[in-house]
């Protein structure tokens, strides 16, 4: 008994000491340094050899194919800082210097951009980040053939709780490097219209973590310091001209039209690249691209590209399913399941049925109907309708069963195909549409650009998977809560996060994608001009080579082009598979970074190609015929795939030609793009939730990716791919 008393007393002393330490730590937090960039460029002969290998596989007279990543986060993004915390088994906050060194030596990229969240960049952090980007470029030297081009950028991160107020996330990339070529402040999405800020309570939560993890108090204190700095920033006057604002305020653009106006006021060359519009992790159900075609909400001069895939999933493919249905009076109804989709509102009803023991049939059905209704109103946090429920209860609800490396909780009307199908009338008969070029990137939050060159089961670091470092911390972070009455569904306050996301979203994180450009040279200007003219494509990670041309005229028109034709359009597609990878890192990377940094930053693996290439298994062509009227149903307008061309097994790649004889008589404009599919190879989260079905084809069991179980590599075979930018063929007007 005395021993038990001493043990309890010791625990109390430890907790009190932890609290005092946490309070003291709250006053001791400090800023994170930007890091030191390695001063050795990639070996010139290695860069030249890789360029020659690309050109050897290209059609005669082709431009350079260069690979990059325009979506990378460092410690100055709070979500990157948060997932680096010790309580989540994080490896430490990644500074901007890490992003440069990884892009140059680990991933061997040709270009990249840091795009930290504008709302979390203090003036000092923005200045540090700009300086880091300049230093990264300085290592490449002043010539016109740099080993790496780094662009300035930030992410405009807008989130609304209902579809009508949600516009999504956009990366803003700038052409220039000097202070006279980039804004003095990043532009956030705050400032008047609802935008959910998930970090208001984060500082206190992380300081509290120091109580249970006092050995790492400094990390939590530094996180709290960063949040405090952000929250202390005064808001700028949203209506004022951006050039007249002081430097020490947070500039807000709550809607896209304000963002475009502010970029016009700065007057710098910039590109605005939407991403994640179909991601269910923060996008309200039934969100749609439609409102972003309203006047002022789309800037075709700047918004020329869209991110079709990242390490957070593929947002390409539209589906006719709906999270729920809404009639003209705003009444919501839950659709029945289909072969390809289980609505979460429907599954909520099934969960309730399983809890009806002892209830009358009438009362059970009343609660089933209530569970469906509350789920339709719960936004992204559907599982909170039943506190204590988990992935095993909700099965694969909200996840389309068709598609490649899908985004979590895919929103069909936020997909790229849906965006390309939209059309609105405009003056002089020219319709208002999205004419996006397609890119991919990583959205990596550990400063590691384009990690998709290898898929070897390294779940952490190469993806954004994260989780508590042991069961004790898991229990502290478990936000399910206990139901007061497990037979009663509960009303949910709108929020960003849910336990269901934490459990399942790990199955929808992937190594990052790539953006490829067809550029006249390796220079900054040549890369930028390729991005502007949409002569770009995206890959799911491997460095697949892809060309897609309209060949009606004397000179081919490349992907991204626009044309008016009165005859059948004719196309040529050529694709060459990516190089098979050797283990480890090449000698020049090891020499530049040293063994310890290769192990810690590169995770022991770099882009390290053999001479052998993967084969291209097939080329698919998608045709989208944009609406003639705003109320026209889009499902029959999206033909995926429209054409399929199997390819012979050849390391030399695959080339096909085809035409659309129906185009002249259709009376409709058309959008065409190509997908090149590689032979199947193992990929992280290739099978997502690994759903098992019963004899009637209904989901029975899910097995999400186990982040912290080394025996679960989460690998499954997929056909990695590349997506060309579209070619836009209009009827002669």
Residue 705 half-sphere exposure toward CB, CA atoms < 13 A: 28
Shared domain for 624 and 488, answered yes or no, is: no
Q: Are residues 597 and 638 both part of a single domain?
A: yes
Residues 501 and 540 in one domain: no
Q: Which residue has the higher pLDDT, 82 or 15?
A: 82
* H-type alpha helices, 150-288: 202-212, 217-231, 256-266
**If pLDDT is split at 50, 70 and 90, which confidence band does 472 have?**
low
- Tell me how far apart the alpha carbons of residues 110 and 524 are, in angstroms, rounded to a whole number: 10
Task: Evaluate whether residue 174 is within a structural domain.
Answer: yes
In this predicted model, what pLDDT tens digit does every residue of 672-731 receive, in sequence order? 999 999 999 999 999 999 999 999 999 999 999 988 888 899 999 999 999 999 999 999
- Which residues have a Cβ under 8 Å from the Cβ of 16 and sit 6 or more positions away? none
Q: Within 10 Å of residue 202's Cβ, how many Cβ atoms?
A: 20
Least-confidence region, from 456-460, 540-544, 601-605: 456-460
Q: Is residue 694 part of a domain?
A: no
Query: How many angstroms separate the CA atoms of 267 and 238, rounded?
Result: 17
The band of 14, judged by pLDDT with boundaries at 50, 70 and 90, is very low
Under the banding of pLDDT at 50, 70 and 90, the label for residue 197 is: low
Instruction: Inform me whether the pLDDT recorded for 10 exceeds 70.
Output: no
Query: Among 7-11, 33-37, 66-70, where is mean pLDDT lowest?
Result: 7-11
Q: Which residues pair with 273 in a beta bridge?
A: 171
Length of the chain: 733
User: Which neighbouring-strand residues pair with 721?
Assistant: 677
pLDDT of residue 450: 94
**pLDDT grade for 17, boundaries at 50, 70 and 90:** very low
Q: What is the DSSP code string of 601-633?
A: TSTT----EEEEEPPEEEEEEEEE---SSTTS-
The predicted pLDDT at position 497 comes to 62
Phi, psi of 436 (to 5 degrees): -85, 140
Q: Considering the domain boundaries, does residue 494 fall inside one?
A: yes
Does one domain contain both 541 and 392? no
Cα separation, 526 vs 51, in Å, equals: 15
In a domain, 176, yes or no: yes
- Same domain, yes or no, for 489 and 517? no
Task: Please tell me whether residues 627 and 639 are part of one structural domain.
Answer: yes
pLDDT computed for residue 496 by the predictor: 61
- Residue 210 is assigned to a structural domain of this protein: no
In a domain, 216, yes or no: no
Burial class (CB in 10 A: 0-12, 13-18, 19+), 369: middle
User: pLDDT per residue over 105-143, tens digit each?
Assistant: 999 999 999 999 999 999 999 999 999 999 999 999 878
- Look at residue 254 and tell me if it is in a domain: no
Of 507, 525, 547, the domain-final residue: 507
pLDDT, tens digit (0-9, with 9 covering 90-100), for 311-365: 999 999 999 999 999 988 889 999 999 999 999 999 999 999 999 999 999 999 9
What does the DSSP 8-state code read for residue 138?
A: H
Q: How far apart are CA 93 and CA 447, in angstroms?
A: 9
Distance (Å, whole) CA 449 – CA 733 = 44
Q: What is the mean pLDDT of the chain?
A: 90
Residue 345 belongs to a domain: yes
Run of H or E residues at 2: helix 2-28
- Same domain for 354 and 483, yes or no, is yes
For a pLDDT cut of 70, what percent of the chain falls above it?
Answer: 92
Consecutive H or E run containing 68? strand 64-72
Residue 365, judged by CB atoms within 10 A of its CB (0-12, 13-18, 19+), counts as middle
Whole-angstrom Cα distance, residue 546 to residue 535? 11
Tokens 């991160």 belong to 157
* 8 A C-beta contact, residue 208 and residue 272: no
- C-alpha 275/C-alpha 316 separation (Å) is 11
Mean pLDDT confidence for 639-659:
95
Q: Tokens for 343, please give them.
A: 């609505």
Instruction: For 386-439, write each residue's pLDDT tens digit.
Output: 988 888 999 999 999 988 999 999 999 999 999 999 999 876 677 899 999 999
What CA–CA distance (Å, rounded) separates 211 from 11? 12
The answer on pLDDT for 78 being more than 60 is yes
Residue-level pLDDT at 512: 86
In this structure, the answer to whether residues 428 and 451 fall within a common structural domain is yes
Q: In this predicted model, what pLDDT tens digit does every residue of 571-614 receive, in sequence order?
A: 999 999 999 999 999 999 999 999 999 999 999 999 999 999 99
Asked whether residue 519 falls in the same domain as residue 488, the answer is no
Residue 492, pLDDT score = 79
Residues 445, 342, single domain; the answer is: no
- pLDDT classification of 58: cutoffs 50, 70, 90: confident
Residues 384 and 523 both lie in one domain: no
pLDDT in tens, 235-256: 998 889 999 999 889 999 999 9
In this structure, are 307 and 343 located in the same domain? Answer: no
470 pLDDT above the threshold of 90 = no
DSSP 312: T
- Asked if residue 529 has pLDDT above 60, the reply is yes
- Which residues, 6+ apart, have CB-to-CB distance to 573 below 8 Å? 546, 547, 548, 549, 619, 621, 645, 655, 656, 657, 674, 676, 724
24 pLDDT above the threshold of 80: no
What is the CATH number for 582? 3.20.20.140
DSSP 238-268: TTS-GGGS-TTSBEE--SHHHHHHHHHHHT-
Q: Among 158, 179, 65, 68, which Cα is nearest to 113's? A: 68
Distance CA 95, CA 115 (A): 13
Find the domain containing 380 and state its range: 325-399+478-507
Domain count for the chain: 2
Amino acid 238: pLDDT: 83
Token pair recorded at residue 732: 């002669």
- Indicate the burial class of 554 (C-beta count within 10 angstroms; 0-12, 13-18, 19 or more): exposed
Residue 195 banded pLDDT, cuts 50, 70, 90: low
Question: What is the reported pLDDT for 213?
Answer: 85
CA distance 353 to 370: 12
Q: Which two tokens stand for residue 524?
A: 């900054």
């Amino acid at each position: 008994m005395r021993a038990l008393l001493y043990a309890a007393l010791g625990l109390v002393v430890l907790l009190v000491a932890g609290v005092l330490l946490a309070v003291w730590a709250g006053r001791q937090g400090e800023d994170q340094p930007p890091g030191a960039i390695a001063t050795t460029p990639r070996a010139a002969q290695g860069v030249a050899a890789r360029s020659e290998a690309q050109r050897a596989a290209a059609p005669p007279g082709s431009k350079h194919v260069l690979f990059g990543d325009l979506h990378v986060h460092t410690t100055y993004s709070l979500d990157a800082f948060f997932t680096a915390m010790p309580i989540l088994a994080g490896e430490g906050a990644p500074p901007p210097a890490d992003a440069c060194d990884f892009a140059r030596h680990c991933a061997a990229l040709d270009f990249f951009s840091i795009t930290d969240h504008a709302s979390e960049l203090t003036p000092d952090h923005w200045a540090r980040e700009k300086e880091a980007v300049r230093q990264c470029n300085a290592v490449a030297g002043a010539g016109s053939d740099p080993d790496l081009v780094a662009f300035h950028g930030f992410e405009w991160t807008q989130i609304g709780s209902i579809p009508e107020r949600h516009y999504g996330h956009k990366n803003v990339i700038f052409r220039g490097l000097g202070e006279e070529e980039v804004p003095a402040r990043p532009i956030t999405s705050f400032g008047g219209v609802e935008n959910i800020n998930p970090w208001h309570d984060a500082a206190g939560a992380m300081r509290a973590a120091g109580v249970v993890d006092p050995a790492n108090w400094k990390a939590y204190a530094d996180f709290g310091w960063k949040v405090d700095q952000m929250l202390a920033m005064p808001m700028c006057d949203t209506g004022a001209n951006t050039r007249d604002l002081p430097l020490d305020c947070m500039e807000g653009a709550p809607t896209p039209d304000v963002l475009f106006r502010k970029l016009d006021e700065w007057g710098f060359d910039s590109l605005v690249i939407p991403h994640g519009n179909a991601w269910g992790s923060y996008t309200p159900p039934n969100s749609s691209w439609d409102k972003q075609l309203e006047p002022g909400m789309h800037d075709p001069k700047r918004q020329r590209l869209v991110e079709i895939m990242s390490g957070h999933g593929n947002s390409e493919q539209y589906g006719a399913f709906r999270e729920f249905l809404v009639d003209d009076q705003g009444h919501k109804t839950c659709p029945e399941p289909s072969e390809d989709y289980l609505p979460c509102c429907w599954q909520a009803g099934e969960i309730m049925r399983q809890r009806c023991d002892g209830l009358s049939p009438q009362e059970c059905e009343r609660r089933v109907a209530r569970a469906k209704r509350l789920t339709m109103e719960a936004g992204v946090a559907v599982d909170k309708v039943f506190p204590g429920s988990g992935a095993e209860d909700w099965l694969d609800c909200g996840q389309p069963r068709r598609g490649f490396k899908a985004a979590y909780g895919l929103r069909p009307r936020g997909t790229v195909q849906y965006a390309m199908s939209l059309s609105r009338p405009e003056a002089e008969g020219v319709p208002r549409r999205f004419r996006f070029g397609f890119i991919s990137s990583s959205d990596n939050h550990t400063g590691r650009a384009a990690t998709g060159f290898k898929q070897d089961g390294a779940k952490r670091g190469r993806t954004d998977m994260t989780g508590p470092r042991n069961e004790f911390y898991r229990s502290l972070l478990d936000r399910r809560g206990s139901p007061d009455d497990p037979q009663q569904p509960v009303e949910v306050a709108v929020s960003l996060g849910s336990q269901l996301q934490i459990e399942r979203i790990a199955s929808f994180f992937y190594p990052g994608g790539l953006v490829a450009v067809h550029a006249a040279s390796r220079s900054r200007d040549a890369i930028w001009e390729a991005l502007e003219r949409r002569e770009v494509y995206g890959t799911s990670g491997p460095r697949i080579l892809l060309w897609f041309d309209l060949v009606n005229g004397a000179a081919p028109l490349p992907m991204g082009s626009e044309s008016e034709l009165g005859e059948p359009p004719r196309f040529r597609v050529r694709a060459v598979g990516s190089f098979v990878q050797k283990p480890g890192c090449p000698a020049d990377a090891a020499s530049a970074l040293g063994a310890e940094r290769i192990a810690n930053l590169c995770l022991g693996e770099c882009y390290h190609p053999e001479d052998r290439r993967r084969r291209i298994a097939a080329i698919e062509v998608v045709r989208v015929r944009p609406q003639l009227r705003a109320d026209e149903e889009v499902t029959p307008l999206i033909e995926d795939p429209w054409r399929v061309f199997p390819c012979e097994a050849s390391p030399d790649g695959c080339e096909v030609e085809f035409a659309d004889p129906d185009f002249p008589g259709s009376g409709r404009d058309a959008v065409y793009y190509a997908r090149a599919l590689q032979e199947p190879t193992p990929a992280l989260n290739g099978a997502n939730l690994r759903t098992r079905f019963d004899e009637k084809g209904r989901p029975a069991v899910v097995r999400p990716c186990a982040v912290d179980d080394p025996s679960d590599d989460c690998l499954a075979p997929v056909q990695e791919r590349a997506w060309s930018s579209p070619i836009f063929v209009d009827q002669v007007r």
